Structures are given as structure tokens and as C-alpha cells.
Amino acid sequence: MQHRPATRTAKRALSRAGIWAAIGLALAWTLFPIWWAFASSLKPLRLQYGSLILPVIQFPASLDHWKWEWNNRYEVNGLYYGLRNSLIVGLATATLCVMLGMATAIGLRAFHNQPRAKSGVLAIALLPRILPPVVMLTPFALLTVALRIQDTLPGLIAVHTCFGLPIAIVVLDAALLDIPADIIDAARLDGASDITVARQIAVPLVTPVLWAVGVLAFALSWNEFMFAVTNARYRAATAPISVAFLDQRDGVDFEHVGSHIVLIIAIPLVLALLTQRVLVRGLTLGAVRG
């Protein structure tokens, strides 16, 4: 009988050790590509194909790649235009997803007594996320050519909004369900229009959710490659395509892949760190309960 507390303690210690080992493995799996890119961006050209990943310890750090990034930022394989276009498309996509998603979610409240009709509307809205993206690739290309928006940022913004909007609608609809119906009904009895209800009641109560939706839409747009490369010709290349431009006729310029990836990762990483608290609150929907 005296050995049972010790046995339980040992089991708890093993369980905690297993949990921490799993967390450490997940972190290593997630962070290793980022560290590899950072180490490669500091690796001298003569060691570029070596399996060395510890700057200063395994090899002398060099800033040659970063100097190249600055000196060649306006070239076809530079990052200036790619980062600029990705920022424009990402911010525009996030803004449209928040605005259209909020408007749709408020409109869906009219179906609160008609669950089947609401389910049908949500099913239609979710189609762009349910269908495989490759199925819509050819229609998208033909449509942009017909509308003469191929190789333009508005064309890419339209398709990225199409893919980000379903997530925005679902998340914002769930958030609005946490708002007591009596508040909205009272405002409407006082003569408030739908726009007034949205601006003065709904938006302030779900602000963290709006930030979360905007961050998710921005991340989706920033990382999207397939439609971006289909749309781009000369003027609308985004940051991920700038990495693909390193595949030259004589082979891949691996010496610049690391610095390219670090610069592309930096912006969404900083955004995630700055908004992590709001992002967690918004996705858990806890902030709308007062």
C-alpha cells in the first residue's frame, strides 16, 4: 500500500515528460525550416551545399546574401515587387473578407427561425473551400482573360477573397450567435437600421473576431501560390512567386533561397506575434460574451 503514491507520482512524471517531449518535437518540426532558411541566409557561398545549420559555431556568418537582396531588390528574382504586391493583395483581401463576411453574417441572422434555409446559404458560401482548388484553376484563368484582369492585382484579390470569405462567414456567424438577440431587437424597435445595428452594436462586440478573420485572410492570401502563379505574367507576381523565380535556366539559385524565405516569413510572423492575443480571443469567441 505504501508504494501506490510513489507509483502514481512516477506515472504523472512520465506523463508530463511525454507531453513535453511531444511539444518539443512539434516545435522542432515547425521551427526547423525557419531556422534552416535563416542559417542558409548567413552561409558563405562555398558552403551552401553543406549540411551545416549553426552559424558562427559550424561556419563563419556572412552577410553577402543580404547585400545581394538589397542590391538586386528591383530585379526579376528580387523581392521588392513581390513583397509589395503581396502586401497590397493581402491587405485588400483581409479588408474585403472582414467587410463582406460581417455583412453576410448579419444577413444570416434573418434566418434564425429557418435553420434549413440558413444551412443552405452556408453550404453555398462554403463551396470555394469544399471544392479542390485545382478544379477552379482553369475557370479562373479563362474568367480573368475574358474580363481582361489577368496579370493584375484586382484579379488576384478577387480570387483570394473568394477563398477567404467562407472562413470569415462561418467564424463571424458563430460570433454573432453569442450576441443576445434582445439587444438587436431593442435597437431595431428604436428605429435603428441594419447598418446602424452593424456599426454601433455588432462590430464593437465582435472586434477581436474581426481581427482574427482579417489575420487569417491575410495569411491565406500571403501564402497562396497556385492561383498567383496562374495569374501572374509580368506585373502581378507575389512574394511566393519571387522564390520560384530563383529557378533559373542554369539551375536553382540556392544561395538566395534562404534570405528570400526569411524575408517572406518575417511579415506574417511579426503580424502573428503582434496579434496573437487578439487572434486567440477571437477564434475562441470568448470576447463576445462581455
Instruction: Report pLDDT digits (tens) over 80-125.
Output: 999 999 999 999 999 999 999 988 888 887 777 777 777 778 888 8
pLDDT score of 287:
42
Instruction: Report pLDDT digits (tens) over 185-204.
Output: 777 777 777 777 777 777 88
Q: Exposed, middle or buried, 174 (CB in 10 Å: 0-12/13-18/19+)?
A: middle
CA distance between the termini of the chain:
50
Sorted by sequence, the CB contacts under 8 Å of residue 47 that are 6+ apart come out as 59
Prediction pTM value? 0.82
**Helix (H), strand (E) at residue 32:** helix 3-41
Query: What's the topology of domain 73-289?
Result: MetI-like fold (1.10.3720)
The C-alpha cell that represents 50 in the structure block: 553543406
pLDDT score of 160:
94
| pLDDT above 80 for 247 | no
Q: What does the domain layout of the chain look like in residue ranges? A: 3-62, 73-289
pLDDT score of 6:
65
Measured distance CA(260)–CA(257) in Å, rounded: 5
**Helix (H), strand (E) at residue 247:** strand 247-248
Taking the CB of residue 57, how many other CB atoms lie within 10 A of it? 8
Q: Exposed, middle or buried, 93 (CB in 10 Å: 0-12/13-18/19+)?
A: buried
Instruction: Report pLDDT digits (tens) over 59-68.
Output: 888 888 888 8
pLDDT score of 121:
80
- Kindly indicate the confidence band of residue 290, based on its pLDDT and cuts at 50, 70 and 90: very low
Q: Whose grid coordinates read 480570387?
A: 159
| pLDDT above 50 for 284 | yes
pLDDT score of 1:
47
